[in-house]
Structure 1
Amino acid sequence: MPGLSFTLPHWLYWVGLIAFPAIAMILARRPRPRQNTYSTPLGYMILVTGGIIGLHRFYVKNLLGLVFIPIFIFVLFANGQQQDARTTASTLINQIRSAERTIEREEPRVAEAEANLPQLRADLEAAEAEDDTLNQRRAERSLSRAEQTLETGRERLEEARTVLQEIGPVAEAAQDKRAFWDNAAGYALYLILLMLLIDAALLPGLIRRANAEIPPEEPSPVEEALAEYEAEEEGPKHDSQYAENWIDRLSLFCGEFVSYWAVIAVFVYYYEVIARYVFNSPTNWAHEAMYLMFGMQYLIAGSYAMLTETHVRVDVFYAPWSRKRKAWVDLLTSIFFFIFAGTLLVTSYIFAMDAIAVPSGNSLVSDWARGEIGLIEMFASFGMAQWTDPNIRWGEISFNEWEVPLWPMKWVMVIGALLLVLQGISKLGKDIREIARGN
């Protein structure tokens, strides 16, 4: 069974977090076609990401995609059998190695005890003949220890040889079983890959035929009802309707930007599942990459949630109040908000500076954060080597094998806290204007 040894480069991680949302936002703003059709690029993307279970065939409503599913299930089953056999073989091999070490250790001891036994008996007989009580007791103890060593060693050797005799064939059978299922899973996977190559050549034709079979599109009753509902005055507000100033627009942009990170998680966790259960090659970066990404998403989206009022709150008494009364309450409670947001901003800045100034950091930025050089000197000495030299470490890194830098995440905490403070200022201005209107 082939394995996967891909480790996500740090630079690709950061480029993906920036480039993917930017591209997705551009694509999302494209005008929708009057009639939905099947897309060849989308078909190839589905083939690459989900073709292993035939999703590209299902995309064009082709039931031949069902052929992929039993083969994929067989791959999972074969991998499960291979893992069970590997566990069994590993346990048995450890027992065999323990038995071999026992034989290597006990055989010299038994041989030495057998060689010394006649001399010890002769020493005991000589001590008894001379009626030397002290030497007699010493000889008896030496003889007893030698006989005990001989008896124990023979028992251990017998047990170890029994283990080798009984477990050896079982271990070989387990290894043969592991090899069989490993080869079976590999052949099934190669069959899927061959089918995918064939479908990659056939996909444009499948897309054309699927588009030719699309009937003229008419609005469904659900779409008509949704359009009528959105046209009503009390319908849900679009996000753009919340923006009244540049702070609101910034919060909306940042919220939309990081929302596309959830799509990245789908692809990464899909890759992790396939790598783990199909190729038996679990990654050492997928979980941590997504864990850190969602932490940054939570912080950046805080101002968006505050602007659109999508955060969870209990408003049993607040909801029926007038706008002016709500503005007064928001104005009074904003004191507690700014205490929280200000504390978050200050502590995040301290965490971010500490992450840059770690003793292991040898970059100019780390020297500046530790106070060893000034800001002007840092900018004057900065060069491409600070980015390209692999021996330069900017700051704190994770402790696992991936060793991704952690200091950028902590600076994202600062950005998220700053956005939250700015959105609080925007909300404060709106409340004051609402109170001034007197409505």
Structure 2
Amino acid sequence: MPGLSFTLPHWLYWVGLIVFPLVAMVLSRRPRPKEQRFSVALGYLILITGGIIGLHRFYLRNLWGLIFLPIFVFVLYANIQTQEARGVLSDMSNQMRVAERTVEREEPRIAEARESLPELEAALAEAEEGSFARRSAEKRLKRAEDTIAKGEARLTEARATIVEFGPQRDAAAKLRQAWSDWAGRAFYLILALMALDAVLLPFLVRKANATIPPEQKTEAELALEAAEAEEGPKHDREYAENWIDRLSLFCGEFVSYWAVIAVFVYYYEVIARYVFNSPTNWAHEAMYLMFGMQYLIAGSYAMLTESHVRVDVFYAPLTRPKKAWADLLTSIFFFIFAGTLLVTSWIFAMDAIAVPSGNSIVSDWARSEMTLFEMLGSLSLDQWTDPAIRWGEISFNEWEVPLWPMKWVMVMGGLLLVLQGVSKLGKDIRAIRQGA
């Protein structure tokens, strides 16, 4: 079975976090077609991401996708058998290695002890009865005899282990290779079917579109849609009253598309782990760092759209001016929290780039050993291209992703939250003055 050794480059991680939401925001603003039809582009996307289980066929409502499922299940089963055979092989190999090392260690010891027996027996015979020399000779002779006896027992056990586990190890190795080969053949069969469908996909899409019945809505459905359009939920853009609100809306929408990235990454992790037996060392860390940044950036959006959890028992029945007074009084606690978040995140961010990393200029600036303008004036191309320069704090696992950008996102989240608090404060003061 082929394996995957792909490790996500750090630059691609950041490019994906920036470019994917921008593309998604553009696509989401496209006008929707009046008639829902199957798409060739979407079909190819599903073929690439989920074609190994026939999702592209199911997307086109084609039951031939069921052919992929038993083959995929067989791949999973073969991989499970491969892993079990690998465990047995590893256990047998460990037993064999211990036994072989025992033989290598004990044979010279026994040979050396046997060679020393005549000399020790002669020394014992020459020693005077009851003397210290005789007792010492007896101890040396006894030690040599014990070495021979215990060594032979270990040798017998080790040789028996080699005889017993050698064939089992070879059988486990053959079984593992056999299951791996069968899994590989099944996987290549899936790839062949996917390649065939890649050629047939435009035809399949046209055929599926031809089977779509004309959409006809009843008067009741039209009336329901009209009522929903009239009484529907408040659109996000209706919350925006100034540039701070618009900034919060943009940032909230931007990071919301990161959840889609997580779907693709965890899907890749599952396929890599259970199909290719190649679990990644970056997927989990990349996603929990991403969700941490999403949580911080989306705070101002949640505050603007009133999505934060709060107790409405006393607040909900109040009029708008009274709600404004309540918000104005409780804003003291909000600004304490938001200000603390901003200050502490700034400290964390500066500490993250002050880590000694070969880039003394930025590190010295972060430690307040030079001014910002001195640091900017000292920057050169080497600071960006020298492979010996590692920028700031990195994670401790094998992926070693830089952590300082995440710390600066904390600063951005705290700043957005403070700005949104200022915007909310202005709205409350205006509501109190207007009395409505």
Report the TM range for the smaller structure's normalisation. over 0.9
Q: Do the aligned partners of residues 151 and 227 (structure 1) sit closer, same or farther apart at CA in structure 2, a change above 3 Å counting? A: farther
Normalized against structure 2, the TM-score is what? Answer: 0.96
Q: Do the aligned partners of residues 219 and 368 (structure 1) sit closer, same or farther apart at CA in structure 2, a change above 3 Å counting? A: farther
Give a deviation string over 1:116-151, Cα, whole Å, max 9, x none: 223322322333xx4353222122111111111111
1:5-404 matches, cutoff 5 A: 5-127=5-127, 130-131=128-129, 133-219=131-217, 225-232=224-231, 235-362=232-359, 364-404=361-401
Q: Give the deviation of 1:382 after TM superposition.
A: 3.0
Q: Do the aligned partners of residues 361 and 293 (structure 1) sit closer, same or farther apart at CA in structure 2, a change above 3 Å counting? A: farther
Q: Is the 8 A contact 1:361 1:393 kept in 2?
A: yes
Q: Give the deviation of 1:88 after TM superposition.
A: 1.1
Amino acid at match of 2:91: T
Q: Is the 8 A contact 1:361 1:396 kept in 2?
A: no
Q: Give the deviation of 1:366 after TM superposition.
A: 2.6
Q: Is the 8 A contact 2:342 2:414 kept in 1?
A: yes
> Which stretch shifts more, 394-403 or 13-22?
394-403
Q: Is the 8 A contact 1:360 1:395 kept in 2?
A: yes
Q: Is the 8 A contact 1:57 1:63 kept in 2?
A: yes
The alignment's C-alpha RMSD in Å is: 1.5
Q: Is the 8 A contact 2:76 2:274 kept in 1?
A: yes
Q: Is the 8 A contact 1:363 1:386 kept in 2?
A: no
Q: Is the 8 A contact 1:363 1:394 kept in 2?
A: no
Q: Is the 8 A contact 1:258 1:301 kept in 2?
A: yes
Q: Give the deviation of 1:227 after TM superposition.
A: 4.1
Q: Do the aligned partners of residues 219 and 260 (structure 1) sit closer, same or farther apart at CA in structure 2, a change above 3 Å counting? A: farther
**C-alpha separation between the residues in 1 aligned to 2:68 and 2:223?**
38
**C-alpha separation between the residues in 1 aligned to 2:125 and 2:423?**
105
**C-alpha separation between the residues in 1 aligned to 2:198 and 2:393?**
44
Give a deviation string over 1:190-238, Cα, whole Å, max 9, x none: 1111111111000011011111111112347667535412312xx4211
Q: Is the 8 A contact 2:358 2:388 kept in 1?
A: no
Q: Do the aligned partners of residues 404 and 227 (structure 1) sit closer, same or farther apart at CA in structure 2, a change above 3 Å counting? A: farther
Q: Do the aligned partners of residues 7 and 224 (structure 1) sit closer, same or farther apart at CA in structure 2, a change above 3 Å counting? A: farther
Q: What residue ranges of structure 1 are gaps of 5+ in the alignment?
A: none
**C-alpha separation between the residues in 1 aligned to 2:425 and 2:265?**
40
**C-alpha separation between the residues in 1 aligned to 2:217 and 2:427?**
40
Q: Is the 8 A contact 1:361 1:395 kept in 2?
A: no
Q: Give the deviation of 1:367 after TM superposition.
A: 3.1
Q: Give the deviation of 1:381 after TM superposition.
A: 3.3
Q: Give the deviation of 1:326 after TM superposition.
A: 1.3
Q: Do the aligned partners of residues 137 and 335 (structure 1) sit closer, same or farther apart at CA in structure 2, a change above 3 Å counting? A: same
> Which stretch shifts more, 111-120 or 93-102?
111-120
> Which stretch shifts more, 417-426 or 208-217?
208-217
- Per the alignment, residue 3 of structure 2 pairs with 3
Normalized against structure 1, the TM-score is what? Answer: 0.96
**C-alpha separation between the residues in 1 aligned to 2:138 and 2:146?**
12
Q: Give the deviation of 1:307 after TM superposition.
A: 0.6
- Per the alignment, residue 416 of structure 2 pairs with 419
Q: What residue ranges of structure 2 are gaps of 5+ in the alignment?
A: none
Q: Is the 8 A contact 1:363 1:392 kept in 2?
A: no
Amino acid at match of 1:382: L
Q: Give the deviation of 1:327 after TM superposition.
A: 1.1
